[in-house]
Amino acid sequence: MLDRLQIRIYGIVQGVGFRPFVRRLALKYGIRGTVCNKGSYVEILASGSRMQEFLSAIPEEAPERSAILKIRTRELTENVLLPEEFQIIESEKDEGLVFVSPDIATCPECEKELFNPKDRRYLHPFINCTACGPRLTILDSMPYDRVRTSMGEFPMCPECHREYTDIASRRYHAQPVCCRDCGPELYLLNRPERGDEALKEIRRIIRTGGIVAIKGIGGFHLCCDGTCDEAVQRLRTLKHRPFKPFAVMMRDMETVQRECLVPEAAETILQGPQKPILLLEKKETGNLSPCLAPGNPSIGVMLPYTPVHMLLFRYPDGESMPEVLVMTSGNPSGAPICMTDEEAEKYLLPMCDAILSNSRKIRIRADDSVMSFYRNRPYMIRRSRGYAPLPTVLLKEYSHTVLGIGGELKNTFALLKGDMAYLSPYIGDMADVRSVEALHLAEARMEQLLEITPECVTMDLHPKYNTGEVARKLAKEKKIPLFEVQHHYAHILSCMAENEYMDPVIGIAFDGTGYGTDGTIWGGEILLADGEGFRRMGSIRPFIHAGGDKASREGWRIAVAMLPEETTAELELGTPKERAALRFMMGNQVNTIPSTSVGRLFDGVSAVLGLKERNSFEGEMSMQLQFEGEEELRRRGDEPVGIHYENQRISEEENFLYLETEALIQWIAERKLAGESSGKLALLFHEVLADMVSEAALRIREKTGVNVVALSGGVFQNLLLLEMCQKRLEKNGFRVLTHSLVPANDGGIALGQAVYGAIQMDR
Ligand code: ZN
Ligand code: ZN
Ligand code: FE
């Protein structure tokens, strides 16, 4: 172990007592040196013989409110003189060192004060301190000072000001600090109730089965009793959302333990400073309404992360509240989450019985983050509140700044500067003009906050995306170059960047839809990729996507394109008339386009197995297929499926690999008609697809010597498939790169786009 190191620690490491903690550790291990805040990271210069112990103690003993995303070390070769006694150095704000903190969940100390009748902030719905409270969502500009936040309109009372200026106080320099005398106030929209009365009334409405909207940190939630079928069902009707799972907020950890299976690592994250929604397996013995996530073994769960949430569950008015509340984003279908009273009144009032708002304005939208767990690590699905705008640290420093505008679905954009890329909060699906407007707003704000003026813009190759229009407009206004990046290449680059690996990889991009360089729909791609570009080495066997959007929603149409008429008739996929119309379109090439989308393939198989006929939300059919496979796996444990797939898995034509997925779906259809169980076939489908991936990687390794595989694209939210692929690849000696804190879905491609732009600019 080297005994002189520069250590950089990235994550939530500001204002959570991190530097004093480092100093204590250093003294304990006899380390000499310094620690300093450097904007988005803390830097330690250290020298000593017990360096290894010191290094491993940092993540193990880090302060409770901190969240370390990455530790990077390098040998300290410069001739820096380190002080004998370990020192905390005051941060001088260097050029280019900006730190915009994500919003931080209410800390345990503030929670204690909130429910302490003797505390002067007893039941104060906006209690916060130096270690917790809103940040990104109230910021106007940097540096982070009260006047440059939406708290600027609430002058501090003398007592709050005293705490704010007292270095010994928990609220020293806490910009949003306030109390009942000087802070914002709760109120019901279009009704007279204010303050505690407003809160009590909202609790009453929830308790009696009503639906309310509640203003949170990054937008409004729609909320109702999560144990009441009627309330949940009514919310589904009002929100036009028949099946898509609702996330819930549970009163406390005990409730979560009672309702769900909680892996150990998940507990820390549930209670941590970021409080994302975690996907957890439901217990059969729980009280949850089955309408929350119909047909889904898991549910999205979070714990209260603002004082208002805590008061919602525990306000001491003697009434008992449900311990599980639906907390779903308050937005009309397709549009971004509502942020202002005007939006709430217009869009949410028709969906609920009352709206609890407050006078602290939200400056930028931030939906709740959603994550699941893979191999004991977080596996991000939606990266937003609590994570945005924490940077992703890149392998190297780039000399130009870039804006990656992001994907058309699940849009998130990225700003890149130096060796860091900042992913924005989740914006939404760009088919809706309101989302486009939200993208414009958020992009301008993030540029300002992060002090990044992009020198180029990157966008998806698709000629008709709204994001493309935004990118073109920005490039023109700023007079900067614009680059197009193929969708699946951006996915793979994103995975590479997150793993700090930029040498050639075999990229497996399994996805819903992306525009290919040949103008067809891609989505089952095998790319040989590095930072400079990619070569398409193979794909799944193309099929005909007929009938545009309808085929994306109705998986049976995909199945019909891949199966003979007798088989589809026997399986009763669509009516004879519908099938005839479809076959006519295919025969005459009307409204048809070749596709290699694995997302659609999943839909097709799902339809063949009779699991679901159509998607009421994106990915519904694929998810059913995954659940069916997972359940089968649980049932049989290690016992093999007992049926074998003997057909050829892969073929090669003119140096291009085809995964023979059409033959696979035909075989599955035949077995289904022969009476084989859907569970077995669902599981087998996953296994054979994973075999194909691994076999393709082997063939490409033979040709190229590349031994690293990157797995990305929305289909890899399917952890059953991900695990099967990774296991096979590792068995064959591959190094496998997977996502963790950057989503595998389209919410992550902005990172790949941004990195591509940076590389192009540096050429
Ligand atoms: Zn606090
Ligand atoms: Zn005050
Ligand atoms: Fe995608």
User: How does residue 350 score in pLDDT terms, banded at 50, 70 and 90?
Assistant: very high
Residue 314 CA to ligand 2 centre (angstroms): 23
Looking at the DSSP assignment, which residues form a beta bridge with residue 524?
Answer: 510
Residue 581 CA to ligand 2 centre (angstroms): 69
Q: With the CA atoms of 734, 735, 736 and 737 taken in that order, what torsion angle do they form, in degrees rounded to the nearest 10? A: -150
Name the residue among 17, 31, 103 with its Cα closest to residue 61: 17
Residue 493 burial by Cβ neighbours in a 10 Å radius (0-12, 13-18, 19+): buried
What tens digit of pLDDT does each residue of 398-412 get?
Answer: 999 999 999 999 999
* Averaged pLDDT, 363-392: 95
Q: Which ligand is nearest to the CA of 305?
A: 1
* Averaged pLDDT, 124-135: 94
Q: Which ligand is nearest to the CA of 177?
A: 2
Q: How far apart (Å, rounded) are the C-alpha atoms in residues 406 and 433? A: 16
What tens digit of pLDDT does each residue of 446-458 get?
Answer: 999 998 999 999 9
Distances (CA, A) of 601 to 174, 529, 697: 52, 24, 20
User: For the chain, what is the radius of gyration of the CA atoms?
Assistant: 27
Q: How far apart (Å, rounded) are the C-alpha atoms in residues 115 and 127? A: 11
Residue 511 CA to ligand 3 centre (angstroms): 5
Residue 307 CA to ligand 3 centre (angstroms): 37
Residue 363 CA to ligand 1 centre (angstroms): 21
Q: Which ligand is nearest to the CA of 712?
A: 3
Amino acid 549: pLDDT: 87
Q: Which ligand is nearest to the CA of 128?
A: 1
Residue 754 — φ and ψ, nearest 5°?
-65, -45
Residue 179 CA to ligand 2 centre (angstroms): 4
User: Considering the chain, what is the average pLDDT of its residues?
Assistant: 94
Q: Provide, rounded to the nearest whole percent, the portion of the chain with pLDDT above 90.
A: 85
Higher per-residue pLDDT: 360 or 80: 360
Q: Which ligand is nearest to the CA of 715?
A: 3
What tens digit of pLDDT does each residue of 612-663 get?
Answer: 888 989 899 999 999 999 999 999 888 888 889 999 999 999 999 999 999 9
User: How does residue 443 score in pLDDT terms, banded at 50, 70 and 90?
Assistant: very high
Residue 177 CA to ligand 2 centre (angstroms): 7
Whether residue 14 is predicted with pLDDT greater than 80 in this model: the reply is no
Using DSSP, state whether 495 is helix, strand or coil: helix
Name the residue among 136, 561, 611, 627 with its Cα closest to residue 363: 136
Q: How far apart (Å, rounded) are the C-alpha atoms in residues 392 and 416? A: 9
What tens digit of pLDDT does each residue of 549-585 get?
Answer: 889 899 999 999 999 999 999 999 999 999 999 999 9
Q: Is the peptide bond before 378 cis (omega within 30 degrees of 0)?
A: no
Whether residue 81 is predicted with pLDDT greater than 90 in this model: the reply is no
Residue 217 CA to ligand 2 centre (angstroms): 20
Q: How far apart (Å, rounded) are the C-alpha atoms in residues 299 and 278? A: 8
Residue 4 CA to ligand 2 centre (angstroms): 47
Using DSSP, state whether 290 is helix, strand or coil: coil
Using DSSP, state whether 412 is helix, strand or coil: coil
Q: How far apart (Å, rounded) are the C-alpha atoms in residues 306 and 299? A: 21
Amino acid 97: pLDDT: 58
Residue 112 CA to ligand 1 centre (angstroms): 9
Residue 107 CA to ligand 1 centre (angstroms): 4
Residue 181 CA to ligand 2 centre (angstroms): 5
Q: Which ligand is nearest to the CA of 745?
A: 3
Residue 424 CA to ligand 3 centre (angstroms): 17
Give the sign of the dihedral formed by CA 749, CA 133, CA 269, CA 7.
positive
Name the residue among 590, 485, 598 with its Cα closest to residue 542: 598
Residue 103 CA to ligand 2 centre (angstroms): 21
Higher per-residue pLDDT: 273 or 93: 273
Whether residue 143 is predicted with pLDDT greater than 80 in this model: the reply is no
Q: How far apart (Å, rounded) are the C-alpha atoms in residues 232 and 262? A: 24
Distances (CA, A) of 673 to 569, 570, 571, 669: 11, 8, 7, 6
Amino acid 315: pLDDT: 98
On whether the CB atoms of residues 110 and 132 are closer than 8 A, the answer is: yes
* Averaged pLDDT, 388-394: 93
Residue 184 CA to ligand 1 centre (angstroms): 17
Amino acid 91: pLDDT: 65
Using DSSP, state whether 300 is helix, strand or coil: strand
Whether residue 95 is predicted with pLDDT greater than 60 in this model: the reply is no
Whether residue 82 is predicted with pLDDT greater than 60 in this model: the reply is yes
Residue 149 — φ and ψ, nearest 5°?
-130, 170
Residue 199 CA to ligand 2 centre (angstroms): 20
**Least confident piece of the model among 261-270, 273-282, 319-328, 693-702:** 261-270
Whether residue 207 is predicted with pLDDT greater than 90 in this model: the reply is yes
* Averaged pLDDT, 34-45: 87
**pTM to 2 decimal places:** 0.94
What tens digit of pLDDT does each residue of 594-607 get?
Answer: 999 999 999 999 99
Residue 268 CA to ligand 1 centre (angstroms): 18
Residue 273 CA to ligand 1 centre (angstroms): 10
Eight-state DSSP code of residue 139: B
* Averaged pLDDT, 701-715: 98
On whether the CB atoms of residues 450 and 422 are closer than 8 A, the answer is: yes
User: How does residue 92 score in pLDDT terms, banded at 50, 70 and 90?
Assistant: low
Whether residue 90 is predicted with pLDDT greater than 80 in this model: the reply is no
Amino acid 93: pLDDT: 55
Length of the chain: 763
Residue 463 CA to ligand 2 centre (angstroms): 53
Whether residue 704 is predicted with pLDDT greater than 90 in this model: the reply is yes
Whether residue 237 is predicted with pLDDT greater than 70 in this model: the reply is yes
Residue 386 CA to ligand 1 centre (angstroms): 15
User: How does residue 222 score in pLDDT terms, banded at 50, 70 and 90?
Assistant: very high
Amino acid 100: pLDDT: 84
